Amino acid sequence: MTAECHPITVLPHLAKIFREYAELRTAPADAPVRRFYPSSPFDARWQAGTTPRLQPDRNVLADALIAQNQTFGAGEATFANIARLREGARAVVTGQQVGLFGGPLLTLLKAATAIRKAQVATEAGVPTVPVFWMATEDHDLDEVNQATVLGTGSQGKNGIVTLRSTFPQHRQQPVGSLTLGPQIEPLLEQLEELLAYAPITELLRASYTPADTLGSAFGKFLAGVYREHGLIVVDASTREFHAMGAPALQYAIEHADELHAALTARTHELEAASYAAQVLVNDDSSLLFLIDEDGQRLPLKRPADADGHRAWHAGSRTYTNEDLLAILAVTPERLSPNALLRPVFQDSIFPTSAYIGGPAEIAYFAQLQPVSQAILGTATPVLPRLSATLIPAPIRSVMDQHELSLSDAMTSADELAQRLAARAMPIEGKRKIAAAGNALDTELNEVEHWMTTLDANLGKSASVAASKMRYQMNRLRRLAANWQLERETHLRKHADAMTRTIFPDGHVQERLMNGIVLLAQSIVDLPAMLVENAEQECPGHRVFDI
């Protein structure tokens, strides 16, 4: 199996703070990014863990986890890990939204990293178990009701198919509770056909039944994929888990002003260091959501009145601290954390040694440190998940044929086809075009320089005219490449196949492509391979042949 290591910067659209955090191994001791995190991702001290003020009741936690993981069909390794958790083991936690049919590939990468990090800590003498926290309380249905898979060139856009399910019952309530219903059946049939009825479709059909919810189906699927690796899957939206985390929610109610001030100050610190805050903190923001009497999940806001006094608002209703504390005491599941409180809420339930995050999560962990310090008295280390592109054997064969690397294929199909065609042109033609282009550039540069010395405005006009001439030269290159593409039609097919697998619709594979596509195409034990390679030997982006 080929495994390549690329700098993390091979990926587009990464936040500056994440790029610098992911490169801390070679950063100077005074790198500005260090002050926003409790430790470096390459520092093994996270394995020992810390002791937060809020400690979970391990027996209550273990009993709840057993009940849930039984419904998910987890294997013996998972229940052995729950027993270890009851006896004092720590946890490496990760999580993700409950995307349709298992969600994007990054879901599998997160789970694999949590499993591997827990193994590493255990091998170092600190018993640790992996936990996957399903974000079932999110209410943004558009983020989870779709799955992006591969079809043929006649299906979807450029062979990329987006399957979407419908949920007529959705009214802004947490998405994890939405029942799949009979409308899931035709989608399952279409997906099975697109995956060529690969063995993984058996687990898919057993998980995504009409009677299941988005949350329970996702839990069954993930528990099945990592059945041999002891992954503990948790849906913390229930009353019992919210009761365990109630002290963190209570603190967020009673100390809302102090927490908001700390977050505002941290935003200013980030901006002063030339970083962007990942989560917007408005003047009326809070860290909480409330499920109202109609089942809708609404943000709790705290606008100031004319005298500067603040009250809690959700929808059209107003609440006092006492109102929210009464709800928390009786129906704690109606109150839930936002993105900046969720890790703290999570760490008040689990004895967390580290959280495994993606680029966006690691960026907002820089914001939430003051909240964690205030509520828990400590800040949990955050470690980057495995970042990877998986290349099936047929695609690797085509890449090798054209001598292409990962970065070559991270472009549009049209651009790659043009490049392949330019390479395939006869030597004589390539020489003539290159000679004409080089000669034109040389002469134009000299003319532009000469005319600029005569007059600055004349030089600007010359630059505009020269740009038009260079455009026409590039048009000649494209005309020649298009002629070559018409003669060698397989080049466009190869470009289409490579880009829709490696850079689908202009997105990094791990962020868009459903993991089940790669599970179906892999000729290796993909879950085991991901776990084995989820250590930090390569601090950047990995490429695996599957």
Residues 322 and 422 in one domain: no
First to last CA, the chain: 7
pLDDT of residue 284: 94
Question: Is pLDDT of 424 > 80?
Answer: yes
Residues 400 and 301 in one domain: no
pLDDT in tens, 99-146: 999 999 999 999 999 999 999 999 999 999 999 999 999 988 999 999
Count up the domains in the chain and report the number.
2
Residues 328 and 400 in one domain: no
Chain Cα centroid distance, residue 344: 19
Q: Which two tokens mark 248?
A: 């963190």
Residues 419 and 492 in one domain: yes
Residues 490 and 416 in one domain: yes
Contact 382, 361 (CB under 8 A): yes
Residue 38 falls inside a structural domain: no
Residue 516 falls inside a structural domain: no
Residue 259 falls inside a structural domain: yes
In the chain, the percentage of residues whose pLDDT exceeds 70 is 98
Question: Is pLDDT of 155 > 80?
Answer: no
Q: Using alpha carbons, select from 286, 267, 265 the residue that is nearest to residue 276.
A: 267
> Structure pTM?
0.91
Q: Using CA atoms, how far apart are residues 207 and 74, in angstroms rounded to an integer? A: 12
Q: Using alpha carbons, select from 532, 537, 430 the residue that is nearest to residue 116.
A: 532
Amino acid present at 167? F
Provide the H-helix boundaries in 245-358: 246-254, 256-272, 321-330, 342-347
Question: Is pLDDT of 494 > 90?
Answer: yes
CA of 238: how far to CAs of 95, 335, 349, 350, 355, in Å? 16, 11, 13, 15, 22
Residue 101 falls inside a structural domain: no
The residue range of the domain holding 419 is: 391-507
In the chain, the percentage of residues whose pLDDT exceeds 90 is 83
pLDDT of residue 159: 84
Q: Using CA atoms, how far apart are residues 427 and 157, in angstroms rounded to an integer? A: 35
Residue 240 falls inside a structural domain: no
pLDDT of residue 150: 92
Residue 543 falls inside a structural domain: no
Q: Using CA atoms, how far apart are residues 500 and 504, in angstroms rounded to an integer? A: 4
Count CB-CB contacts under 10 A for residue 321.
13
Contact 367, 266 (CB under 8 A): yes
Residues 401 and 480 in one domain: yes
Residue 459 falls inside a structural domain: yes
Residue 502 falls inside a structural domain: yes
For residue 271, what pLDDT band results from cuts at 50, 70 and 90?
very high
Q: Using alpha carbons, select from 255, 521, 543 the residue that is nearest to residue 374.
A: 255
Q: DSSP class of residue 157?
A: B
Residues 400 and 503 in one domain: yes
pLDDT in tens, 432-456: 888 999 999 999 999 999 999 999 9
pLDDT in tens, 1-52: 567 999 999 999 999 999 999 998 888 989 999 999 999 988 898 998 888 9
Residues 407 and 307 in one domain: no
Residues 409 and 492 in one domain: yes
Question: For residue 133, what are the β-bridge partners?
Answer: 95, 234
Domain finish residue from 337, 358, 375: 337
For residue 72, what pLDDT band results from cuts at 50, 70 and 90?
very high
Q: Using CA atoms, how far apart are residues 294 and 332, in angstroms rounded to an integer? A: 16
Question: For residue 162, what are the β-bridge partners?
Answer: 148
Q: Using CA atoms, how far apart are residues 526 and 93, in angstroms rounded to an integer? A: 21
pLDDT of residue 537: 77
Count CB-CB contacts under 10 A for residue 377.
12
pLDDT in tens, 165-214: 999 877 788 999 999 999 999 999 999 999 999 999 999 999 999 999 99
Residues 331 and 425 in one domain: no
CA of 305: how far to CAs of 119, 254, 263, 264, 524, in Å? 53, 19, 21, 19, 62
For residue 539, what pLDDT band results from cuts at 50, 70 and 90?
confident
Average pLDDT (464-485) is: 89
**What is the overall mean pLDDT for the chain?**
94
Using only C-alpha atoms, the chain has a radius of gyration, in whole angstroms, of 27
Higher pLDDT, 382 or 158: 382
Residues 331 and 397 in one domain: no
Question: Is pLDDT of 387 > 80?
Answer: yes
Handedness of CA 68, 70, 75, 77 (dihedral sign): positive
Count CB-CB contacts under 10 A for residue 496.
17
Q: Using alpha carbons, select from 39, 29, 19 the residue that is nearest to residue 274.
A: 19
Contact 496, 413 (CB under 8 A): yes
pLDDT of residue 151: 80
Look-up: residue for tokens 């009353």? 239
Residues 257 and 329 in one domain: yes
pLDDT in tens, 335-346: 999 999 999 999
Question: Is pLDDT of 481 > 80?
Answer: no
